[in-house]
C-alpha cells in the first residue's frame, strides 16, 4: 500500500510572526518553522497504518511551500516517513486556498497512492478547506476527522468524530482521510530515525512538470488580503492577592458585577 | 454574488445557536448586496428546523427530508448545497465554522469555483464587494480579506460572533429536488452520540476552563461544573488536563483544540501558555485564578486572583447562586 501524507510547514507560534508590508504576505522564510500540528497527527496515522499493514507499505510526504523550508521536513522523515516531495515555485507565492488546493491536486496526481492522509486544519490559515477541495479535484471518497482507521481487504474502515459524537464508516481505496487530534499522540523521532532521515530523499517538483490549465499565485486567487493588524491591545489587568477563599471569591464577584457579567 | 445562502446544519431537526446567528446576518448582507437570503435545511428533521427558521427574516428555506443525508457521510449535503446555490444564482454561502461546516466548505469551493474566507467575525459590504474580517495565526493578527468578484463566494463563520435577531415575515418553504444520478461511497454504519448534550463550548457565553492546577478529574465535576452552571456557561480545559485524561479532548481549548470567544472566560489553574492563549485571547473578559502571581496568564487577564482554586471557586459559586436569589 502506498500512503501519501500532506504536511505544511508553518511559523512557530513562539517565533515572532511577520507579514511583509509590501506584499501583505506571511514571511515564511527566515523564521522558525515547524510541522503544522494537525499534520503530525496525520503522519502518526500513516505510520500506524504502515505498521499494521506491514509488507511493502510506504509513507510519502508531500508539501507545497518554499524550498528553503525543506529541512523542517527532516523531522517528519525522522519520525518514520520514507521519502518526501516539495512542490516549490515562485509563481505559487500568494496562492489562496482555491489555488493551493488546485496546485496540490495537480502535483498529487503525479504521486500514485492508495491512501491520501491530510491534516484537518492549518495553524496559519486555518480554513480546513484544503482536504475537501482535494477530494473534489481528485474525485476521491473523503472521510474526515478520523480517530481510528484501519485498512482491510482494500477498504478503509474509519471511526470518525462528529460534532455530536462519532460514526463508523468504510470506503473503498483509493480514498482521502483526515485525522482528528484524538487519533493518538504523534511519536517522537528516535535517534536511529534521526540518523536514517539524513539519507532519505527530498525531491523537488516544479510547476512546469504539472501542466496547469489555470493561473496560480496571487493572480489566480479568488481572495485578496486588504489589511492586517494586531488585535486591539489587551492591557495587563489587575492582580489581587487573595488571603483566603472568601476574599478571593468576593474580589472576582465584585469585578464581575462591575462589568455587569453577573 | 448578491444572494446569501446559509447552510443550516442540524441533527434531526436540532440545531445550534450559530444557525440563527447566520440567518440573521444573511438578511443584513443580502440587503446590502441587493439580493435574497436563503437557508438550506436537508435531511431528516429539516421540516422541523424550517419551522423554527420562519421566525427569522429569510426569503426562503430550501428543504428536503431525504434520509440519504443521514445515511451517507457529507456527500449528499454537498450535492444539495450545490443544487441550491445553482438554483438561487450567484451567492455568498455562509457556513458555520464547525467540523462538518469546514468539510462542506472545502468541497463546495471546487463545485462552485469559489473563493473562501475562514473563521469570519465581521462582514463589510461596499459597492457590492464583500470584505471579511478574521483572526489569523491564533488571533495574533486580524485580517480583512476580500472575496474577489465572482459568481460564488464562501465564508465559514465563527459561532458567537454575530447576534441572532429573530423577526420573520414567514419565509417561503421551497422543496429542493434530490440531485439526480449520484452514488455515495461512504455509508454510515453506525452513528453514536457522545457527551451529555451540554452547551457547545464554542457557543457558550461563559467558559470556565481548568488546567493542570486542578490535579485530577474530580475538580472538573465538583468545582468547575457548578460554577459554569451558575454562570450559564460551559466547562473547558487546557491541553495538560486533556492529555492527562481528566476531560475528553473535545473540551480542549487552544492551538490544537477549540477557539472560543465567550463574553467571560475564567481560567482556573491554567498557566496561560501561548498555545492555550491563542484559543481564548479574543474572549470579552478574562479572569484567572492561579496560585502563582507570575504565571504568564497575568499578562492577558483582566483580573488575576492569586490564591488557591480549591478554596476560591466554591465560594464564588455560592456568591453567584446567592445573587440570583
Ligand atoms: C504543538 C503544541 C500544541 C499545543 N496545543 C495546546 C492547546 O491547544 N491548548 C493548551 O491548553 N495547551 C496546548 N499546548 C500545551 C501548552 O504549551 C501548555 O503545556 C499547557 O497549556 C499547559 O497547561 P496548564 O496551564 O493546564 O498547565 P501548567 O502550565 O502546568 O499550569 C498549571 C497552573 O496551575 C496553577 N496552580 C496549581 N495549583 C493550583 C491551585 N490549587 N489553585 C490555583 N492555581 C493552581 C499553577 O500555578 C500553574 O500556573 C500545546 C503545546 C504544543 C507544543
Ligand atoms: N501548502 C501546503 N502543503 C501541504 N499540505 C497542505 C498545504 N496547505 C494545506 N495543506 C494540508 O491541508 C490541511 C488543511 O489545511 P487548511 O485547509 O489550509 O486549513 C493541512 O493540515 C495540510 O495537511
Asked if residue B61 lies in contact with residue B84, where contact means CB atoms within 8 angstroms, the answer is: no
Is A101 close to ligand 2, i.e. is its CB under 6 Å away?
Answer: no
CA distance B33 to B129: 8
Strands B264-268 vs B206-210: parallel, antiparallel or unpaired: parallel
CA distance A204 to B37: 47
Asked if residue A108 lies in contact with residue A134, where contact means CB atoms within 8 angstroms, the answer is: yes
Tell me, yes or no, if B320 comes closer than 8 A to chain A by beta carbon. Answer: yes
Per-residue pLDDT of chain B (325 residues; tens, 9 = 90+): 899 999 999 999 999 899 999 999 999 999 999 999 999 999 999 999 999 999 999 999 999 999 999 999 999 999 999 999 999 999 999 999 999 999 999 999 999 999 999 999 999 999 889 999 999 888 888 999 999 999 999 999 999 899 999 987 789 999 999 999 999 999 999 999 876 556 678 889 999 999 999 999 999 999 999 999 999 999 999 999 999 999 988 899 998 888 899 999 999 999 999 999 999 998 999 999 999 999 999 999 999 999 999 999 999 999 999 998 7
Say what the ipTM of the complex is.
0.88
Chain B residues with CB inside 8 Å of A142's CB? 73-74, 103, 107, 186
Q: Taking CB atoms and an 8 Å limit, are B141 and A142 in contact across chains?
A: no
CA distance A153 to A115: 14
Asked if residue B254 lies in contact with residue B238, where contact means CB atoms within 8 angstroms, the answer is: yes
DSSP letters spanning A117-140: EE-S--SSS----HHHHHHHHHT-
Q: Taking CB atoms and an 8 Å limit, are B142 and A259 in contact across chains?
A: no
Chain B residues with CB inside 8 Å of A258's CB? none
Q: Calculate how close chain B gets to A178, using CA atoms only, in Å.
A: 10
Q: Is B256 helix (H, G, I), strand (E, B) or coil?
A: coil
> Using CB atoms, which residue from A142, A234, A242 is nearest to B307?
A242
Half-sphere exposure at residue A259, Cβ-oriented, CA atoms within 13 angstroms:
17
- Would you call the peptide bond into A145 cis, given omega within 30 degrees of 0 as the criterion? no
- Burial code (b: 16+ CB inside 10 Å, e: under 16) for A42-71 equals bbbbbbbbbeebeeebebbbbbbbbeebbe
pLDDT for A13 equals 67
Mean pLDDT of chain A: 91
pLDDT for A244 equals 94
Residues 134-193 of A with CB under 8 A from B: 134-137, 141-145, 160-172, 181-182, 185
> Using CB atoms, which residue from A231, A244, A261 is nearest to B139?
A231
Q: Taking CB atoms and an 8 Å limit, are B109 and A221 in contact across chains?
A: no
Asked if residue A130 lies in contact with residue A104, where contact means CB atoms within 8 angstroms, the answer is: yes
Is B198 close to ligand 1, i.e. is its CB under 6 Å away?
Answer: no
Residue nearest to atom 23 of ligand 1 (CA): B240
pLDDT for B262 equals 93
* Plot region of B272 (φ>0 → left; ψ -120 to 50 → alpha; else → beta): left
Task: State which of B138, B250, B273, B287 you would mutate to test the pocket of ligand 1, scoring each by most atoms of that ligand within 8 A of its C-beta.
Answer: B273
Chain B residues with CB inside 8 Å of A240's CB? 303-306
pLDDT for B305 equals 97
pLDDT for B197 equals 54
Residue nearest to atom 1 of ligand 2 (CA): A64
Query: pTM of this prediction?
Result: 0.90
pLDDT for A29 equals 66
Cell numbers at residue B109, please?
Answer: 469551493
Q: Taking CB atoms and an 8 Å limit, are A128 and B304 in contact across chains?
A: no
Per-residue pLDDT of chain A (262 residues; tens, 9 = 90+): 999 999 998 877 666 666 777 777 777 666 678 899 899 999 999 999 999 988 899 999 999 998 877 888 998 999 999 999 999 999 999 999 999 999 999 999 999 999 999 999 887 777 899 999 999 999 999 999 999 999 998 999 999 998 888 999 999 999 999 999 889 889 999 999 999 999 999 999 999 999 899 999 999 999 999 998 888 877 789 999 999 999 999 999 999 999 999 9
CA distance A135 to A153: 22
Cell numbers at residue B251, please?
Answer: 473540551
Residues 63-82 of A with CB under 8 A from B: none
CA distances from B108 to A131, B49, B123, B153 (A): 12, 23, 20, 10
Tell me, yes or no, if B273 comes closer than 8 A to chain A by beta carbon. Answer: no
Which of A42, A126, A184 best tests the B interface by mutation, with the highest count of B CBs <10 A?
Answer: A126
CA distance B113 to B177: 22
CA distance A256 to B8: 35
Tell me, yes or no, if B292 comes closer than 8 A to chain A by beta carbon. Answer: no
Cell numbers at residue A120, please?
Answer: 484537518
* Plot region of B290 (φ>0 → left; ψ -120 to 50 → alpha; else → beta): beta
Task: State which of B211, B286, B312 you would mutate to test the pocket of ligand 1, scoring each by most atoms of that ligand within 8 A of its C-beta.
Answer: B211
Q: Is A177 helix (H, G, I), strand (E, B) or coil?
A: strand
Asked if residue B264 lies in contact with residue B241, where contact means CB atoms within 8 angstroms, the answer is: no
Is A124 close to ligand 2, i.e. is its CB under 6 Å away?
Answer: no
pLDDT for A10 equals 86
Amino acid at each position: 500500500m502506498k500512503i501519501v501524507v500532506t504536511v505544511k510547514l508553518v511559523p512557530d507560534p513562539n517565533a515572532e510572526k511577520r507579514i511583509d508590508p509590501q506584499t501583505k504576505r506571511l514571511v515564511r522564510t527566515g523564521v522558525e518553522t515547524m510541522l503544522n500540528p494537525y499534520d503530525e497527527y496525520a503522519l502518526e496515522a500513516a505510520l500506524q497504518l504502515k505498521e499494521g499493514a506491514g509488507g511493502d507499505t510506504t509513507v510519502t510526504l508531500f508539501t507545497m511551500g518554499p524550498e528553503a523550508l525543506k529541512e523542517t521536513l527532516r523531522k517528519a522523515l525522522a519520525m518514520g516517513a520514507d521519502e518526501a516531495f516539495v512542490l516549490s515555485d515562485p509563481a505559487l507565492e500568494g496562492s489562496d486556498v482555491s489555488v493551493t488546493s488546485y496546485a496540490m491536486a495537480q502535483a498529487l496526481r503525479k504521486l500514485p497512492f492508495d491512501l491520501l492522509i491530510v491534516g484537518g486544519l492549518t495553524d496559519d490559515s486555518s480554513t480546513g478547506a484544503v482536504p475537501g477541495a482535494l477530494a473534489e479535484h481528485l474525485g476521491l471518497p473523503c472521510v474526515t476527522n478520523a480517530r481510528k482507521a484501519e485498512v482491510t481487504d482494500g477498504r478503509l474502515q474509519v471511526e470518525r468524530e462528529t460534532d455530536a459524537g462519532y460514526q463508523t464508516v468504510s470506503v473503498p481505496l483509493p480514498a482521502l482521510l483526515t485525522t482528528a487530534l484524538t487519533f493518538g499522540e504523534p511519536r517522537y523521532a528516535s535517534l536511529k530515525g534521526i540518523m536514517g532521515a539524513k539519507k532519505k530523499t527530498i525531491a523537488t517538483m516544479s510547476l512546469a512538470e504539472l501542466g496547469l490549465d489555470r493561473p496560480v499565485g496571487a493572480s489566480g486567487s479568488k481572495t485578496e488580503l486588504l489589511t492586517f493588524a494586531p488585535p486591539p491591545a489587551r492591557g495587563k489587568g489587575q492582580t489581587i492577592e487573595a488571603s483566603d477563599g472568601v476574599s478571593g471569591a468576593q474580589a472576582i464577584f465584585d469585578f464581575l458585577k462591575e462589568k455587569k457579567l453577573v | 454574488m448578491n444572494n446569501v445562502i446559509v447552510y443550516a446544519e442540524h441533527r434531526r431537526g436540532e440545531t445550534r445557536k450559530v444557525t440563527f446567528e447566520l440567518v440573521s446576518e444573511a438578511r443584513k448582507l443580502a440587503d446590502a448586496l441587493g439580493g435574497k437570503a436563503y437557508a438550506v435545511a436537508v435531511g431528516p428533521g429539516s421540516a422541523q428546523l424550517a419551522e423554527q427558521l420562519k421566525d427569522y427574516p429569510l426569503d426562503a428555506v430550501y428543504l428536503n427530508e431525504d434520509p440519504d443525508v443521514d445515511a451517507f457521510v457529507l456527500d449528499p449535503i454537498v450535492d444539495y448545497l450545490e443544487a441550491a446555490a445553482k438554483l438561487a444564482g450567484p451567492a455568498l454561502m455562509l457556513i458555520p465554522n464547525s467540523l462538518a461546516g469546514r468539510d462542506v466548505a472545502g468541497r463546495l469551493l471546487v463545485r462552485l469555483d469559489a473563493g473562501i474566507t475562514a473563521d469570519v467575525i465581521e462582514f463589510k459590504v461596499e459597492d457590492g464587494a464583500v470584505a471579511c474580517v478574521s483572526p489569523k495565526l491564533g488571533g495574533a493578527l486580524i485580517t480583512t480579506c476580500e472575496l474577489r468578484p465572482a459568481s460564488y463566494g464562501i465564508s465559514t463563520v465563527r459561532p458567537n460572533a454575530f447576534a441572532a435577531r429573530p423577526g420573520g415575515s414567514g419565509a417561503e418553504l421551497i422543496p429542493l429536488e434530490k440531485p439526480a444520478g449520484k452514488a455515495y461511497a461512504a455509508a454510515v454504519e453506525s452513528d453514536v452520540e457522545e457527551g451529555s448534550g451540554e452547551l457547545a463550548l464554542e457557543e457558550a457565553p461563559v467558559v470556565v476552563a481548568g488546567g493542570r492546577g486542578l490535579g485530577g478529574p474530580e475538580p472538573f465535576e465538583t468545582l468547575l461544573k457548578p460554577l459554569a452552571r451558575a454562570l450559564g456557561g460551559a466547562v473547558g480545559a487546557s491541553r495538560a488536563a486533556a492529555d492527562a485524561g481528566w476531560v475528553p479532548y473535545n473540551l480542549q481549548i487552544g492551538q490544537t483544540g477549540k477557539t472560543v470567544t465567550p463574553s467571560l472566560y475564567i481560567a482556573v489553574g491554567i498557566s496561560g501558555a501561548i498555545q492555550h492563549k491563542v484559543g481564548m485571547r479574543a474572549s470579552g473578559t478574562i479572569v484567572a485564578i492561579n496560585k502563582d502571581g507570575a504565571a504568564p496568564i497575568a499578562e492577558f487577564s483582566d483580573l488575576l486572583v492569586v490564591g488557591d482554586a480549591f478554596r476560591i471557586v466554591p465560594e464564588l459559586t455560592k456568591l453567584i447562586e446567592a445573587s440570583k436569589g
